[in-house]
Each structure stands twice: as C-alpha cells, then as structure tokens.
Amino acid sequence: MRLWCIWLLASLWRAACEEGAGVLKSFYKLDDEIQETVWCGDDNSVILVRTESNSVYRSDDHGDTFVRITKKMHKSAEQIVDNSTEIGEVTRIIKLEADNKILLFVGNRGVFWISNNCGKSMKALNKEFMIAQVRPHPTDPNKLLATAVQNCKDDDDDLCFYGTHSLYLTENMGETWRQVATNVKQFDWLFDFVQTFRGMPQDRIFALTRTPTQDVLVMTDDFFKTRTALVNNCLEFRLRSTYLFAIKGFKGDEVHLLVATVKNRFEKFYRAVFPDIKLKMKNVHILDSSEGVIFLLTTRKPTAPFGRLYVSDSTGLRFRLALKSCLRSSVRGADFAKI
C-alpha cells in the first residue's frame, strides 16, 4: 500500500512537471524577452505579446502555446505599400476601451494594423505619417486621435514650432485621417463615465498647445473648430477621473499647481494651497487621486533622490505634509504604491 502511494505521488509529480515544462517551453520559443503583454476578449483568454525584437505573438489558450503572427502582419501590409521597407515594425499594442476585442498595432513607419477579433485577423492601413502618440476614444471605437512629429520646413514660419506635433483625427477606425490641430505638445480625451455622467461632451479634448509667446492648455468640444483657453504658461497637465491638474510656470523654474474638478466640468482652476507658504516647487508628481484625496510629491531639483509627500483634503485644494523625505522612483515618481 505504501509503495502504491509513493508511485501515485511520483506519477502526479511527473505529470505536473511535464505540464509546467510544456508551458515554459511555449514561452522559451519566443525570439526575445517580452516587452509588452495585452489580454484580449471578454474572458481575457487571448494573449498578445510583443518582444524586444518587436515580434508579435498570439495565444488563444490562456498562454499555453504561442504563434508568431509578425509575418502574417507583414504580408497584409505588402498590399498597401510600394516597398516592403515602408512597413516597419510593431512598437505598441493598444486594446480599445470601447471594445475589448479591438486591437491597434502601432508601427514605427507609415503602417499600422487594426483587428476586431483579438488579432485572429487584421487589416493593414497606411496613414502616411508616423504615429508619435495615439489615444483611442473611450466610448466610440471608430474614433482615434494621433500625433505626428511636426516638420517645420520654413525657418521663417512663426506659426510652426520645433518639438511640437500635428494632431490627426479618424472617425472610421483609421481608414481616413484629417489634421485638426498643430503645435500640440500634449493631449487627452475625457475618459471616465463619471465625467460623461455629469453632462460633459463625450468628444471633449484637452490639449497643451504652443504659441509664439507661451504654452496654453486649451479645451475643445468640436475637434478644434473652436477652442477655449484654460491655463496660460502651462507646462503640463494630468487628467484623472475627478481632477484635472495643470502645472503652471511662475518665476524662473518655480511652478504652481492648479486644480479643476469634475464638479465644475474641468472649466475653472484654483491654485493648490500648501502649509509652507514659502515652498518653492520645481517639480510636481501626481501619485494618486482615486480615493477622494490627492497624493503628490514635490521636489526642488529634478534629480533629487528624495521629495516631500503631500496629501490633500476632500476638496483637492488644501494639502498637508505627510512625509518630509519620501524616496523617489523613476517609474512612478516616488516609492509609492496603492494597496
């Protein structure tokens, strides 16, 4: 009886090892280390991975086996380009929030791919410009915003600024694109149901644009046919579910933090108040704002190893010092994690 039990345990252990080895073997068949992983489908049973060699693999059995689909993608792209060198490589995989079966494969040339079945089949499209950033619409899968590096050919052109981007819009899932704005440094859609529940337009866009004298945070509800200036001399902005943060340049390299809330439709900003009125902030990192209060880190130097951790009240405007010396992190801005 004892020998039979030992044999049974040994058999189960061997079977488990063989099964585990099979799974590991499927991963070792990849041509390089995994750079990006995307779960797709209603039950997340389909997995897409992009390796450091920019090869794309697909699994439809929860990761037990993977199939390289890079060649299939290139073959579909050969039908829309004159030269195969124009196809390039996939540098990013995006799952659309509006439909978790639609994937966007961003290429480093003028070609990108759209799939509406988690990569089982896909369509190659040539947009004739190289995407720098892309933002899918949060509720309409047909709409995408993308930026391309702006080429200022005429040095005397006062309306073109180096380091900015042209902003493009598609309303038919990448079939056609049109330029809607220039001199864009940063952009984002409204993206949360809380925002649309409060009556804000679903096509509202925030963008940081450059002018001859300063950078301005603007808002548009009609794809830049009209725009409203929100913050002048704005260095950057961060959009969250219930807050819109703007970093405003002040004197020299000193900055102020401005806050708008979903209650006022992100249309009116107030300056954040800190306990040390002599505090001269040089860098601000928004860490979290999902629990009704704001956690942020401030530093006086971009390379400082430590910063001050502040926590706001329920209004998001008045802050108290929570930690005087908080270790910084290159990934999240600070050694801070939500549990």
Between residues 199 and 54, the one the model is more confident about: 54
For 266-284, what is each residue's pLDDT tens digit? 989 999 998 875 667 778 8
User: Is residue 283 left, alpha or beta, with left meaning phi > 0 and alpha meaning psi from -120 to 50?
Assistant: beta
pLDDT of residue 194: 60
Torsion of CA 107, 108, 111, 117, to 10 degrees: 0
pLDDT for 15 beyond 50: no
pLDDT band at 19 (very low <50, low <70, confident <90, very high): very low
Rg (CA), the chain: 24
pLDDT of residue 18: 45
Q: Determine what percent of the chain is predicted with pLDDT higher than 70.
A: 83
Average pLDDT over residues 98-104: 90
pLDDT for 4 beyond 60: no
Q: Using a cut of 0.85, tell me whether the model's pTM lies above it.
A: no
**Pairwise CA distance, residues 111 & 22, whole Å:** 35
